[in-house]
């Protein structure tokens, strides 16, 4: 913001951190120039690496010596075995389908097949190539909800942790998650996934002193 006066001064100095998100060229340009954290929705490793490259280049073009930290968001679907995790994933998909079918146009307020924002467009385009990518990335939830922050990582805590570490390897700094069972998924992710991610990140020298996993 420019020419703005604030009577109450922030506790964080010299200012609060700025988080920004988007997947359009304009978003890369503005967010890379102004933000401390640039947030992305979960995509494939290749798609995420492509976006990180665009953000870093935009930061250089803006005259910054350091690019924003990269945050990525997923919806974990966990279980004690792979079979149970994928069974749970399909049950969640069924509930989402029923919810979408029962929703009115007024409640949607947006198109599920032709979203306006670039991030959702990217997710739907990727979903056209298939539902599953790698060991854990599942696009069906995003496809059912018209994109948005709905891509899932499905599997045991070990499988999901391994998938997340791969994102750290390509330059992700912050992992953000929210489950479909808000309380239980937060507990399971915190108890069983975060320790594995932190352990492997430290072993590989990827913690960078700033990496966080947030449920």
Two tokens at 50?
Answer: 């492509």
C-alpha atoms less than 13 angstroms from C-alpha of 192 in its C-beta half-sphere: 17
What is the set of domains in the chain, with CATH numbers?
Answer: 19-214 (3.20.20.30)
Q: What is the mean pLDDT of each run of 10 residues along the chain (215 residues)?
A: 78 89 92 96 92 97 97 96 98 88 54 61 70 89 73 96 97 94 95 96 81 48
Report the SS3 class of residue 132.
strand
Q: Tell me, what DSSP letter sits at residue 62? A: T
pLDDT tens per residue, range 159-182: 999 999 999 999 999 999 999 999
Proportion of the chain above pLDDT 90, given as a percent: 60
For residue 78, what are its two tokens?
Answer: 């966990």
Ramachandran class of 64: left when φ > 0, alpha when ψ lies in -120 to 50, beta otherwise: beta
Q: Could you tell me if 77 and 110 are in contact, meaning their C-beta atoms sit under 8 angstroms apart?
A: no
What is the per-residue pLDDT for 106?
Answer: 37
Alpha carbon distance 141, 147 (integer Å)? 8
Q: Six-digit token pair at 4?
A: 């703005």
> What's the rounded Cα separation, in Å, for the pair 174 and 37?
9
Q: Please give the structure tokens belonging to residue 2.
A: 């420019």
pLDDT of amino acid 105? 46
Burial of 75 (0-12, 13-18, 19+ CB in 10 A): buried
Q: How far is CA 179 from CA 92, 153, 172, 211, in A?
A: 11, 10, 20, 20
Token digits for 48? 């995420």
Helices (H) and strands (E) in the chain, counts: 9, 8
């Amino acid at each position: 913001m420019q020419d703005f006066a604030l009577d109450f001064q922030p506790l964080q100095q010299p200012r609060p951190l700025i988080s920004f998100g988007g997947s359009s060229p304009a978003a890369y340009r503005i967010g890379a120039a102004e933000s401390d954290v640039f947030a992305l929705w979960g995509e494939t490793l290749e798609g995420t690496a492509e976006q990180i490259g665009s953000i870093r280049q935009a930061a250089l073009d803006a005259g910054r010596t350091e690019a924003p930290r990269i945050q990525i968001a997923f919806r974990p679907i966990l279980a004690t075995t792979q079979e149970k995790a994928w069974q749970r994933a399909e049950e969640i998909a069924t509930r989402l389908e029923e919810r979408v079918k029962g929703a009115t146009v007024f409640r949607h307020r947006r198109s599920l097949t032709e979203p306006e924002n670039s991030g959702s467009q990217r997710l739907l385009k990727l979903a056209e190539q298939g539902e599953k990518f790698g060991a854990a990335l599942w696009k069906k939830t995003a496809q059912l909800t018209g994109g948005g922050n709905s891509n899932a990582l499905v599997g045991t805590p070990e499988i999901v942790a391994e998938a997340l570490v791969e994102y750290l390897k390509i330059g992700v700094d912050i992992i953000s998650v929210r489950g479909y069972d808000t309380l239980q998924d937060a507990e399971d992710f915190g108890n069983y996934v975060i320790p594995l991610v932190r352990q492997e990140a430290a072993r590989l020298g990827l913690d960078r002193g700033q990496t966080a996993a947030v449920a």
